[in-house]
Structure 1
Amino acid sequence: MFNQASKYSHMIKQEAQRLGFMSCGIAKAEFLEEEAPRLENWLKNNHHGEMGYMENYFDKRLDPRLLVEGAKSIVSLTLNYYSEEKQRDEHAPKISKYAYGMDYHAVIKEKLQELMHFIRENIGEVDGRCFVDSAPVMDKAWAQKAGLGWRGKNSNLISKQAGSFFFLAELIIDLDLDYDNPFPTDHCGSCTRCIDACPTNAIVAPYKVDGSKCISYLTIELKNEIPTEFKGKMDNWMFGCDVCQDVCPWNRFATVHNEENFKPKEELLGLSKSELLDMTDEVFKKVFKNSPVKRTKFTGLKRNIDFLKQS
Structure 2
Amino acid sequence: MQLLEKNTRLVKEKARALGFDHCGIAKAEELTEDAFRLEQWLNKGMHGNMGYMANYFDKRIDPRKLVEGAQSVITLLLNYYPSATQQPDAPKIAKYAYGADYHEVIRGKLNEFLAELRGFLGDIQGRGFVDSAPVLERSWAQRSGLGWIGKNGNLIHKQAGSFFFIATLIVDVPLLYDAPTGDYCGSCTRCLDACPTGALVSPTVVDGSRCISYYTIELKDALIPGQMEGKFDNWMFGCDICQDVCPWNRFSSPNTTFTPIPEVLDFTTAQWEELTEEEFKRIFRHSPLKRSKYAGIRRNLKFLQG
Q: TM-score, normalised by structure 1?
A: 0.96
1:149 aligns to 2:147 (yes or no): yes
The C-alpha deviation readout for 1:195-246, integer Å capped at 9, x for no partner, is: 1111111001111110000111111111113111111101111111010000
Stretches of structure 2 that go unaligned for 5 or more consecutive residues are none
**How do 1:1-311 residues align onto structure 2 when only pairs under 5 Å count?**
3-88=2-87, 90-183=88-181, 185-224=182-221, 225-259=223-257, 262-310=258-306
Q: Which amino acid aligns with 1:204?
A: V
Deviation at 1:274, TM superposition (A): 0.8
Question: SS of the residue aligned with 1:34?
Answer: helix
Deviation at 1:278, TM superposition (A): 2.6
Question: SS of the residue aligned with 2:25?
Answer: strand
Alignment check: 8 A CA contact 1:215 1:234 kept: yes
Deviation at 1:267, TM superposition (A): 2.2
Q: Which amino acid aligns with 1:242?
A: D
The C-alpha deviation readout for 1:111-142, integer Å capped at 9, x for no partner, is: 11111011111110000101000000000000
How many Å separate the matches in 2 of 1:3 and 1:212? 49
Q: Which amino acid aligns with 1:111?
A: K
Q: Which amino acid aligns with 1:35?
A: D
How many Å separate the matches in 2 of 1:293 and 1:12? 33
How many Å separate the matches in 2 of 1:280 and 1:94? 19
How many Å separate the matches in 2 of 1:125 and 1:255? 37
How many Å separate the matches in 1 of 2:274 and 2:256? 33
Alignment check: 8 A CA contact 2:83 2:255 kept: no
Q: Which amino acid aligns with 2:188?
A: C
Q: Which amino acid aligns with 1:98?
A: Y
Deviation at 1:30, TM superposition (A): 0.2
Q: Which amino acid aligns with 2:6?
A: K
The C-alpha deviation readout for 1:18-41, integer Å capped at 9, x for no partner, is: 111010000000000110110011
Deviation at 1:279, TM superposition (A): 2.1
Question: SS of the residue aligned with 2:32?
Answer: coil
How many Å separate the matches in 1 of 2:8 and 2:286? 33
Q: TM-score, normalised by structure 2?
A: 0.98
How many Å separate the matches in 2 of 1:269 and 1:64? 39
Question: Which region of structure 1 is more displaced relative to structure 2, 2-11 or 228-237?
Answer: 2-11
Deviation at 1:84, TM superposition (A): 3.4
Alignment check: 8 A CA contact 1:82 1:97 kept: yes
The C-alpha deviation readout for 1:134-184, integer Å capped at 9, x for no partner, is: 00000000000000000000010000100000100010010111111122x
Deviation at 1:303, TM superposition (A): 0.9
> Aligned pair count?
305
How many Å separate the matches in 1 of 2:267 and 2:212? 21
Stretches of structure 1 that go unaligned for 5 or more consecutive residues are none
Alignment check: 8 A CA contact 1:215 1:237 kept: yes
Question: SS of the residue aligned with 2:104?
Answer: helix
How many Å separate the matches in 1 of 2:264 and 2:21? 26
How many Å separate the matches in 1 of 2:180 and 2:85? 35
Write out the 4+ residue segments of structure 1 that deviate beyond 4 Å after TM superposition.
none
Question: SS of the residue aligned with 2:111?
Answer: helix
Question: SS of the residue aligned with 2:173?
Answer: coil
